[in-house]
Chains A and B, each alone.
Chain A
Amino acid sequence: MNVFMLGWEFPPFISGGLGTACYGLTRALNEMGHRIIFVLPQPINAPETAHVQIRTPSDRPGALKTYNSYRLEEFQNVEFHAIPSAMQPYSQSTPGGWQSRIHADQRVVAEPRQTVVDDGSPEGPGAPASHRSGGGIAAGHYGGNMFADIQRYAEIAIDLARGENFDIVHAHDWMTFPAGLAVARTFGRPLVVQIHSTEFDRSGENVDRRIYQIEREGVATADRVIAVSYFTRNILINRYAADADRIDVVYNAIDNNGGNYVLPPPIRRDEKIVLFLGRITMQKGPEYFLAAAKAVLQFEKNVRFVMAGSGDMIRRSIELAAELGIGHKVVFTGFLRGEDVARVFRMADLYVMPSVSEPFGIAPLEALANDVPALISRQSGVSEILSHVLKVDFWDINEMANKIVAVLRHPPLQSTLREHGNFEIRKLTWRGAAENCTRVYEKTLSQPRRQVI
């Protein structure tokens, strides 16, 4: 099958679950022999990396020369097209992230729209109205406003798709939905949108209406919707009025070869380590972790709490640790990547994911793959598929502490969780996810096209 995929980050840019999921799924689809045109935003100012091999810079006459095309050796069936863009999947890498840019956007929203700089390419009758009527901003130029950037991204995606051969369009998360919709409409192909997280997960009840609208339109318009869990599927049904019959669940996975023997840490310390790893944002529940830490310290003194990650609540979390009087027991490492992630897992006795609303949650799988037992929030998609972990409601601080203390006190609990957990994740492969995804594609292609106006 030929798939036009609107995805996210690839190594070494991966900063979270969305990138990890796109990478894992695409790699497995590639191995299954699907041909993929993979379009992704390229962070502006990101350094060129050696392992990205640019082979075929786009030089088709008349095209908007605003993307880099390349191939990666381990992805034989994938063509990558990176569109320089400030779009980022999360708000973590830059202070405030896109949320602060949305606020900037609100200030300029009344400004007259710029007219698109026409590139002279012939416009098919199916081109989106916005493209013709000047809904976007000057191509190849970042206008400093998120929603315009998303629109501009869609236009470049259409240009990029011209002349390509694909059966289906697959878009990951809201920022790529306008592009997915535009490409699907322009070229008359069915659209699959995949929801890795919703605005309600990220922002609680304080949703940005415009983001909500984009998500809602994507879900309502797509031929089929992939949710990463039933947890997310339920949110789509209950809060987006999505048609339940069109939503399939495809769980994320982890590639763990099973022979992942992890050496014990070089120095055996007498201090236990409880790890939080993820973006330090409202969605991830850092304050519940700290409150539980405080409770644990009433019972166990020889324990340190490590918070690895960055995010818009990091300052608040540092202050909270101090207010709770446990500042000396909590370590903030900042954002970790690559080998540092493996290293911090290797040190940990327990990984805790206290998320308030977690559509999936790949990090617990990584913990288990690294032989670290996990305590996860029941308000997560991953809790639907894991049995050999501890589970807790994110708000139940005392129960969280109860379970953390048990792991610290009783080595047999830790070892049983570790053995069974590491075994359990071996069946959660990306190959399996890609097979499920392929079934969704087949279902999409075999169903009558939806008449969307």
Chain B
Amino acid sequence: MASVCMYFQVHQPYRLRKYSIFDSGHNYFDDERNAEICRKVAHKCYLPANQCILEQIRLHEGRFRVSFSLTGVVLDQFAEYCPEVIDSFRRLAETGCVEFLAETYYHSLAFLRSATEFEAQVAMHRKKIESLFGATSRIFRNTELIYNNDVAAAAHRLGFVGVLSEGADHLLGYRSPNFTYRPPGVPITLLLKNYRLSDDIAFRFSDRNWSEWPLTAEKFAGWVNQVNGCGHVVNLFMDYETFGEHQWVETGIFDFVRALPGAVMAASRDNGFKMPSEVVEAVPPAGELDVPHLISWADTERDLSAWLGNAMQSHSLQEAFNLEEAVKATDDDLLLTDWRRLLTSDHYYYMCTKYFADGDVHKYFNPYDSPYDSYINFMNVLDSVAARTK
């Protein structure tokens, strides 16, 4: 029996506006641009993709099921710029076939620097999801699937039954991501991304140089079906923006989504879809997986180098967390929110110098011309935040 477990990440950061040493205001964020991007992606991706999934859930009478992780910052921006997206997710929630995962509210790297802040953000996010969708998250995914044994322990301590991570080769070795695993000494279930099949959709779907292009739902369902006999679950984890934003509507990505549930279930009677908490219940861990070092789902390195790969990144992250106590001591909620928005991982990703000269996927997501410009801008904002604590 092979179950497909789909999880889509939904996130948009609060991008900073241009903030130079000559600026002194407390309006750090590029409201206009953030609104524009939010609305643009809503119309290209979130709304049509939600509609597409809703239709499939109805068509297959509940046998098609998916999960989402929506960051607190994207939900805040939806509320402000395009509330119809929240309504659309609510309609999905009402089907009972959609699970919402837990994460840090600010899509932050807090786990790496402050346990207090990490727990506070997870609690904030849980509350937000409960208030919007009426469900309590039982599965945790850390920002960018950053994971090690300590993440599992923290997730268990906070009451989660499952945690998601990357099925990195260097971690698994001969083992397959199509089973569940258990971290050493912690009773929690680990779900690992099948990055080959996930990336076939997320990155290669429209690549005409790819030998498998064009990818049909039937072909993909065949690959899923091959898992039968050597695994129980195929974890397809990807950014939700894959649908309509990274892979444009013209590539046929929505047709693929419409055809996939039927094709997977047609390939074998045993095949079906499960939400992460259903996987945890149905698929007992095949063994123990020890992950002492931090991994993530980013780049080919699957490590933290996209956020902490150079001196600017580690410095700015450290400087940001150095302000934690001072910011919290002010009891100034606006200041606290501003500071927390600076903890969002994207700001550090923009400072990444890996591949910068080659021009690649990092550039696509980057509002800055260069990692240096992004660091300079960020540090100017951080200086202003620091000044407000005095």
The answer to whether A391 touches B311 (Cβ under 8 A) is no
Q: Is the CB of B353 within 8 A of A391?
A: no
Given contacts A410-B315, A412-B315, A416-B311, contact A402 B380 (CB under 8 A): yes
Taking a contact as CB atoms under 8 Å apart, the answer to whether B21 and A413 are in contact is: no
Tell me whether A391 and B369 are in contact (CB under 8 A): yes
B21, A420: Cβ atoms closer than 8 Å: no
In the bound complex, CA of A420 to CA of B356 (Å): 10
Contact with A along B358-382 (1 / 0, CB 8 A): 0000000000011011011001100
B142 CB to closest chain A CB (Å) equals 25
Q: Annotate A405-429 by CB proximity to B: 1 below 8 A, 0 otherwise.
A: 1100110110111001000100000
CB distance from A399 to the nearest CB of B (A): 7
Which one of A388, A402, A405, A420 has the greatest number of beta carbons of chain B within 10 Å? A402
Interface residue A86 (Cβ < 8 Å from any Cβ of B) = no
Determine the main DSSP class of B at the interface with A. helix
Of all chain B residues, which has the CB nearest A398? B22
Complex-state Cα separation, A199 to B61, whole angstroms: 75
The answer to whether A402 touches B20 (Cβ under 8 A) is yes
Once the chains bind, are B357 and A390 in contact (CB under 8 Å)? no
Q: How far is the CB of A368 from chain B (nearest CB, A)?
A: 13
A387 within 8 A of B: yes
B226 within 8 A of A: no
A410 adjacent to B379 (CB under 8 Å): yes
Q: How far is the CA of A405 from the CA of B379 in the complex (A)?
A: 11
Q: Which residues of A contact B20 (CB under 8 A)?
A: 398-399, 402
Cα of A387 to Cα of B353 in the assembled complex, Å = 10
B312 within 8 A of A: yes
Partner of B357, one of A387, A401, A416, A417: A387
Distance from A374 Cβ to chain B, minimum over Cβ atoms (Å): 11
B337 contacts the other chain (Cβ, under 8 Å)? no
Q: A398-B20, A403-B376, A406-B379 are in contact. Are A412 and B312 (CB under 8 A)?
A: yes
Q: How far is the CA of A410 from the CA of B376 in the complex (A)?
A: 9
Determine the chain B residues whose CB is within 8 A of the CB of A405 once the complex forms.
21
Contact residues of A with B, CB < 8 Å?
A: 299, 387-388, 390-391, 398-399, 401-403, 405-406, 409-410, 412-413, 415-417, 420, 424
CB distance from B349 to the nearest CB of A (A): 15
Say what secondary structure dominates the interface of chain A. Answer: helix
Bound CA–CA A417/B373 (angstroms): 11
Residues of chain B at interface, number, CB under 8 A: 20
Query: Which of B314, B372, B379 contacts A417 (CB under 8 A)?
Result: B372
CB pair B370 A391 closer than 8 Å: yes
Question: What residues on A are CB-neighbors of B373 within 8 Å?
Answer: 390
Contacts of A415 in B (CB 8 A): 311
Assembly CA distance A387 to B379 (angstroms): 20
Q: A398-B22, A413-B376 are in contact. List 10 more A-B contacts (CB 8 A).
A: A387-B356, A388-B356, A388-B357, A406-B375, A406-B380, A410-B375, A416-B311, A416-B353, A416-B375, A424-B357
Of A387, A399, A409, A420, which is in contact with the most chain B CB atoms at under 10 Å from its CB?
A387
Neighbour of B310 across the interface among A387, A399, A403, A416, CB < 8 A: A416
Report which of B357, B369, B375 forms a contact with A413, defined as CB distance below 8 A: B375
A416 and B380 within 8 A (CB): no
- B370 → chain A closest CB, angstroms: 7
Which B residues touch A420, using CB under 8 A?
Answer: 353
| Residue of B with least CB distance to A390 | B372
Determine how close the nearest CB of chain A comes to the CB of B28; give it in whole angstroms.
15
B331-367 vs A, CB cutoff 8 Å, 1 = contact: the mask equals: 0000000000000000000000100110000000000
Whether the Cβ atoms of B21 and A416 lie closer than 8 Å is no
Q: Which residues of A contact B375 (CB under 8 A)?
A: 406, 410, 412-413, 416
- Give the residue of B21, B310, B311 whose beta carbon is less than 8 angstroms from that of A299: B21
Kindly state the separation between the CA atoms of A424 and B380 in the bound complex, as whole angstroms.
Answer: 27
* Bound complex: CA A335 to CA B21 (Å): 33
Instruction: Give Cα A299 to B21, complex, Å.
Output: 8
Taking a contact as CB atoms under 8 Å apart, the answer to whether A413 and B380 are in contact is no
What's the nearest-Cβ distance from chain A to residue B309, in Å?
10
Q: Which residue of B lies closest to A300 (CB)?
A: B21
A393 vs B166: C-alpha distance when bound (angstroms): 43
**Contact (Cβ within 8 A) A402 B376:** yes
Q: Which chain A residue has the least Cβ–Cβ distance from B351?
A: A416
Q: Which 5 interchain pairs have the tightest Cβ spacing? A: A412-B311, A412-B315, A402-B20, A387-B357, A406-B376
Residues of B within 8 A of A299 (CB): 21
Complex: chain B residue closest to A405, CB-CB: B21
> Which among A388, A416, A420 has the greatest number of chain B C-beta atoms within 10 A?
A416
**Chain A residues, Cβ within 8 Å of B356:** 387-388
Beyond A388-B353, A401-B21, A405-B21, whether A416 also contacts B379 by CB under 8 A is: no
CB distance from A296 to the nearest CB of B (A): 9
Question: 27 A-B Cβ contacts within 8 A?
Answer: A387-B356, A387-B357, A388-B353, A388-B357, A388-B372, A390-B370, A391-B369, A398-B22, A399-B20, A402-B20, A405-B21, A406-B21, A406-B375, A406-B376, A406-B379, A410-B315, A410-B375, A412-B311, A412-B312, A412-B315, A413-B312, A413-B376, A416-B310, A416-B311, A416-B353, A416-B372, A420-B353
Q: Which residues on the B side are within 8 Å of A399 (C-beta)?
A: 20
Residues of B within 8 A of A416 (CB): 310-312, 353, 372, 375
Residues of chain A contacted by B21 (CB below 8 angstroms): 299, 401-402, 405-406
B377 to chain A, nearest CB (A): 9
Cα–Cα, bound, A416→B315 (Å): 11
A416 to B353, CA, bound (A): 9
Can you name the residue of chain A whose Cβ is closest to the Cβ of B309?
A416
**Cβ of B58 to closest chain A Cβ, rounded Å:** 50
Chain A's closest residue to B376 (CB) is A406
| A59 CB to nearest B CB, Å | 54
Complex Cα distance A406/B315, Å? 13
Min CB gap B328→A, angstroms: 25
Q: Tell me the minimal C-beta distance from B386 to chain A in angstroms.
A: 12
Give the complex CA separation of A388 and B316 in angstroms.
Answer: 18
A412 to chain B, nearest CB (A): 4
Complex Cα distance, B380 from A390, in Å, reads 16
Residue contact A413 to B372, C-beta cutoff 8 Å: yes
Asked whether, in the complex, the Cβ of A387 is within 8 Å of the Cβ of B370, the reply is yes
Query: What is the minimal beta-carbon distance from A300 to any residue of chain B, in angstroms?
Result: 9
Q: How far is the CB of B91 from chain A (nearest CB, A)?
A: 46
Beta-carbon nearest neighbor of B311 in chain A: A412
> Which of B21, B312, B369, B375 has the most C-beta atoms of chain A within 10 angstroms of its own C-beta?
B21
Residue of A nearest to B316 (CB): A412
B19 nearest in chain A by CB position: A402
